[in-house]
Amino acid sequence: MRALVVGWFSFPYMGATAGDLLARDTVCEWLDDIGAAYDVAGTEQFGGLDVEGANPQRYSHVVFVCGPLGNGTPVTELFERFAHARVVGVDVSMLQDLAEWNPFHLLLERDSSRTARPDVTFAAPSAPVPVVGLVLVHEQKEYVGAMHAHVHEQIRAALGSVQAAVVEIDTGLDPPNTTGLRSADQIESLIARMDAVVTTRLHGLVLAIKHGVPALAIDPIRGGAKIARQAAAIGWPIALVAEEATEAAIREGLRTCLTADARSSAHAAADRARNAVSAIEEAFRAEFRSAATDR
Q: What is the CATH number of the domain that holds 78?
A: 3.40.50
CA dist 242 and 264 (Å) reads 26
Domain region containing 194: 131-283
Q: What is the CA radius of gyration of the chain?
A: 27
- Answer yes or no: is 189 within a domain: yes
14 with 69, same domain?
Answer: yes
pLDDT value for 142: 85
105 with 136, same domain?
Answer: no
pLDDT value for 139: 85
For residue 138, pLDDT beyond 80: yes
- Answer yes or no: is 288 within a domain: no
Name residues whose C-beta falls within 8 Å of residue 25's C-beta, 6 or more positions apart in sequence.
Answer: 124, 125
Q: Could you count the other beta carbons within 10 Å of the beta carbon of residue 251?
A: 17
37 with 141, same domain?
Answer: no
Mean pLDDT of the region 4-29 = 96
- Answer yes or no: is 221 within a domain: yes
179 with 251, same domain?
Answer: yes
For the chain, the domain total comes to 2
44 with 95, same domain?
Answer: yes
CB 59 within 8 A of CB 78: no
CB 169 within 8 A of CB 150: no
The domain spanning residue 210 has which CATH number? 3.40.50.2000
pLDDT value for 194: 98
25 with 110, same domain?
Answer: yes
135 with 275, same domain?
Answer: yes
pLDDT value for 125: 84
pLDDT value for 33: 97
- Answer yes or no: is 204 within a domain: yes
62 with 81, same domain?
Answer: yes
For residue 292, pLDDT beyond 80: no
CA 227, 232, 238 angle in degrees (round to 5)?
Answer: 75
Last residue of a domain, one of 123, 141, 165: 123
Last residue of a domain, one of 103, 123, 143: 123
39 with 107, same domain?
Answer: yes
- Answer yes or no: is 295 within a domain: no
- In this structure, of 47-56, 95-104, 138-147, 188-197, the range with the lowest mean pLDDT score is 138-147
- Answer yes or no: is 293 within a domain: no
For residue 290, pLDDT beyond 90: no
Sheet arrangement for strand 215-219: 165-168, 131-135, 196-199, 215-219, 239-241
C-alpha to C-alpha distances, 9 to 85, 89, 110, 256, 284, nearest whole angstrom:
20, 15, 18, 35, 62
Last residue of a domain, one of 62, 96, 123: 123
112 with 154, same domain?
Answer: no
Q: Which residue has the higher pLDDT, 142 or 276?
A: 276
Instruction: Count how many residues are written for the chain.
Output: 295
For residue 178, pLDDT beyond 90: yes
pLDDT value for 293: 77
- Answer yes or no: is 289 within a domain: no
147 with 210, same domain?
Answer: yes
